[in-house]
Amino acid sequence: MERLYRRRVPPEKVVTAEIARACTELSYETRRQIGLLIDRRGHIVSVIIGNDHELVIPNLSRSRSGLRLLRGVRLVHTHLKNEPLSRDDLTDLALLRLDLMMAIGVGKNGNLEDVYLAHILPRTINGKSCTEWKPCSFQSFQLDCKDFIQNLENEFTKTNPRLQSRTKTVQAILVSVSTGNALRQQERLEELEELARASNLHVLGSVIQRPHVLHPKYVLGPGKLKDVIIQALQSGADMLVFDQDLSPAQVQGISELTELRVLDRTQLILDIFARRAHSRIGKIQVELAQLRYLLPRLSQSSTAFSRLGGGIGARGPGETKLETDRRRARERIRRLERELEAVSRGRDQQRSMRHRRAIPVISLIGYTNAGKSTLLNILTGSHLPAKNRLFETLDTVSRRLFLPHRGEVILTDTVGFIRDLPEDLLTAFQTTLQELRDADLLLHVVDAHALDPDRHIRAVQSILAQLQLDRIPRVLILNKCDLIPHDQAAKLCERYQAIGISATHIDTVARVREELANTLNSLERAGELRCGPGEGHPADLRSCRSEVNV
Ligand SMILES: Nc1nc2c(ncn2[C@@H]2O[C@H](COP(=O)(O)OP(=O)(O)OP(=O)(O)O)[C@@H](O)[C@H]2O)c(=O)[nH]1
Ligand SMILES: [Mg+2]
């Protein structure tokens, strides 16, 4: 064995007859497969001893970072019964992106028998990512290894330029595994794609699986997961994004099979929040949520998460490199909690001032991307960012709004909701959401053009109930009515006793103002308005806006 390490294969040969013979003889004597990992310069980087039918390839992560192209090492190994390449051989070839996979049959007395060779295809053909050559005897086998691998890589980059691109955009494959309703799964996947877009990921494709039960370690069955990984590698992806939350054990299990980065829905949402948080309080809240989510995972496997290092999933706590041990993470959490408490106290004071001034507060709430900021802009003549991106708004912003027959009110825009809002995020965002607690009226904006507005309404209602905000009076607005047929909008409005508007159309403004003024006045008459009547002086408002307000 020692002698094998010292040998060098000329770069144009896959393996020399002498080295191959040493392996087959050793196999013959020991009744075990012998494998050699050979790099492009012909150095034998690993000698592997298997059992009579398989061998385990060691961790290759330190070999050439050929995640996108080929690995830079080939495996040459023996087959005791002169049998063809096995399914596992071909899976390893594709999963590890080896330059080549070669098996040499062991004949009588350790003689060289046949050669079985396979390589990855530049593009998947009929569902196959590898191709096998016709077997031939070792003596008649001929191949200029160096040229062949070079041409193969050239072919790869020609067929799929993304494989070579060194762009900063992270390329992702979305994975949805569910045992539930198929339509709902599709809907969720579309939302996941939007979330990925909001996180600046480039989505290369998606995989939907509907197993009877979820696999406890891999979510998908191990065979299917390997197929997904191979497909992802083949298309030049850097990351797998799962629609469901992954348990620490699942992250670890999946990461054992691939060097692709692995992310789940919660991490994706946390990443978007980390990108969008501008205010100090927003940043503290996001980092807290990220750390709380990571903490139990750090205890199990820090290596799995360390693969996320740098870039998405690593923002915020990424500064602590995600390899932070539990102790350091806990300390940081405690520090952030103290800081958050101090900021919250300041906010409480601001809020009590607002109460003393008796100016009604109306808070915009709703599913993310429903059009809350657009509505605030058109009502108050402001220019807050309102883009077709999930979680565009993160920090609370308040503006003055004059209502006819009522006077000044404060209109507050805040973070949007989403179904299955990560628990840690909800906890961390208590300070921001606290603002909602003081609202006299909630203006619930619904995207009437969403695939399923009912589900959005239910998701928002359930979050309000969780936050114990469901007692605050609400006005429901169905927005984006310009995007759906008139009769559909009318039906929805009737069903929800809502007013249908289009926040991008100025003629909307009068109806919304009128509805808000009427509701506030009738709440006041019923004695249900928490603040007293009054026309807050515009100059007074400057002091009661939260930190990000103008
Ligand atoms: N066609 C149409 N587009 C609208 C309407 N209202 C908002 N939009 C668009 O919908 C997208 C989202 O609007 P935002 O106002 O940012 O939505 P939001 O609820 O504040 O979203 P988050 O801050 O992410 O929670 C933007 O591209 C708006 O231009 C509308 O009535 N009609
Ligand atoms: Mg917004």
> Which ligand sits closest to the CA of 445?
1
Atom of ligand 1 nearest to the CA of 386: 16
Question: Is 504 a residue whose pLDDT tops 60?
Answer: yes
> Which ligand sits closest to the CA of 416?
1
Name the one residue in this structure whose structure tokens are 């050439």: 64
Question: Is 377 a residue whose pLDDT tops 90?
Answer: yes
Q: What is the DSSP letter of 513?
A: H
Distance, CA of 38 to CA of 73 (rounded, Å):
5
**pLDDT one-digit tens code per residue, 135-147:** 999 999 999 999 9
Mean pLDDT of 242-249: 90
Local structure of 497: helix, strand or coil: coil
User: Position 549: which residue type?
Assistant: N
State residue 298's pLDDT score: 65
Model confidence at 308, pLDDT cuts 50, 70, 90, reads: very low
Local structure of 406: helix, strand or coil: coil
State residue 2's pLDDT score: 66
> Which strands make up the sheet holding 170-177, listed edge to edge?
201-209, 170-177, 239-242, 261-264
Model confidence at 357, pLDDT cuts 50, 70, 90, reads: low
Largest CA distance in the chain: 102
- Ligand 2 geometric centre to CA of 386 (Å): 6
Compute how many other C-beta atoms are within 10 angstroms of the C-beta atom of residue 408.
Answer: 18
Of 231-245, 297-311, 499-513, 523-537, the poorest mean pLDDT is in 297-311
State residue 282's pLDDT score: 84
Mean pLDDT of 204-214: 92
Beta strands, E only, 179-312:
201-209, 239-242, 261-264
Distance, CA of 520 to CA of 523 (rounded, Å):
5
**pLDDT one-digit tens code per residue, 425-436:** 887 777 778 778
Does 463 or 7 have the greater pLDDT score?
463
Q: For a ligand 1 pocket test, name from 373, 374, 383 the mutation site with the most ligand atoms within 8 angstroms of its C-beta.
A: 374
- Ligand 1 geometric centre to CA of 142 (Å): 63
Q: How many CA atoms lie within 13 A of 408 on its CB side?
A: 16
Tokens of 183: 């339509």
Question: Is 323 a residue whose pLDDT tops 60?
Answer: no
Atom of ligand 1 nearest to the CA of 479: 31
State residue 543's pLDDT score: 32
Question: Is 255 a residue whose pLDDT tops 90?
Answer: no
Tokens of 260: 């692709």
CA 159 to chain centre: 27
CA 237 to chain centre: 13
Pairing between β-strand 239-242 and β-strand 261-264 as defined by DSSP bridges: parallel
Contact between 378 and 506 (Cβ < 8 Å): yes
**pLDDT one-digit tens code per residue, 381-410:** 999 989 898 988 888 899 999 999 899 999
**pLDDT one-digit tens code per residue, 326-338:** 788 889 999 999 9
Contact between 197 and 92 (Cβ < 8 Å): no
State residue 126's pLDDT score: 80
Residues 6+ apart with CB under 8 A from 302: 322, 323, 325
- Ligand 2 geometric centre to CA of 156 (Å): 43
- Ligand 1 geometric centre to CA of 25 (Å): 71
Mean pLDDT of 61-71: 59
Question: Is 68 a residue whose pLDDT tops 80?
Answer: no
- Phi/psi for 417 (5° steps) reads -100, 165
Atom of ligand 1 nearest to the CA of 388: 27
Name the one residue in this structure whose structure tokens are 């883009």: 387
Question: Is 197 a residue whose pLDDT tops 90?
Answer: yes
Question: Is 321 a residue whose pLDDT tops 70?
Answer: no
Mean pLDDT of 55-72: 68
Question: Is 315 a residue whose pLDDT tops 60?
Answer: no
User: Position 356: which residue type?
Assistant: R
CA 270 to chain centre: 9
Model confidence at 71, pLDDT cuts 50, 70, 90, reads: confident
The residue contributing the CA closest to ligand 1 atom 2 is 480
Beta strands, E only, 347-462:
361-366, 397-403, 407-413, 441-447
Contact between 478 and 496 (Cβ < 8 Å): yes
Spatial CA neighbour of 20 closest among 94, 117, 97? 117
Q: For a ligand 1 pocket test, name from 191, 369, 508 the mutation site with the most ligand atoms within 8 angstroms of its C-beta.
A: 369
Q: How far apart are the first and last CA of the chain?
A: 74
Question: Is 234 a residue whose pLDDT tops 90?
Answer: no
Does 69 or 369 have the greater pLDDT score?
369
Distance, CA of 291 to CA of 287 (rounded, Å):
6
Dihedral sign (CA 438, 549, 367, 200)? negative
Atom of ligand 1 nearest to the CA of 502: 31
State residue 266's pLDDT score: 92
Pairing between β-strand 407-413 and β-strand 441-447 as defined by DSSP bridges: unpaired
Local structure of 193: helix, strand or coil: helix
Q: Which residues line ligand 1 (CB under 6 A)?
A: 366, 368-374, 386-388, 390-393, 416, 479-480, 482-483, 502-504
Contact between 240 and 262 (Cβ < 8 Å): yes
The residue contributing the CA closest to ligand 1 atom 3 is 480
Distance, CA of 204 to CA of 201 (rounded, Å):
9
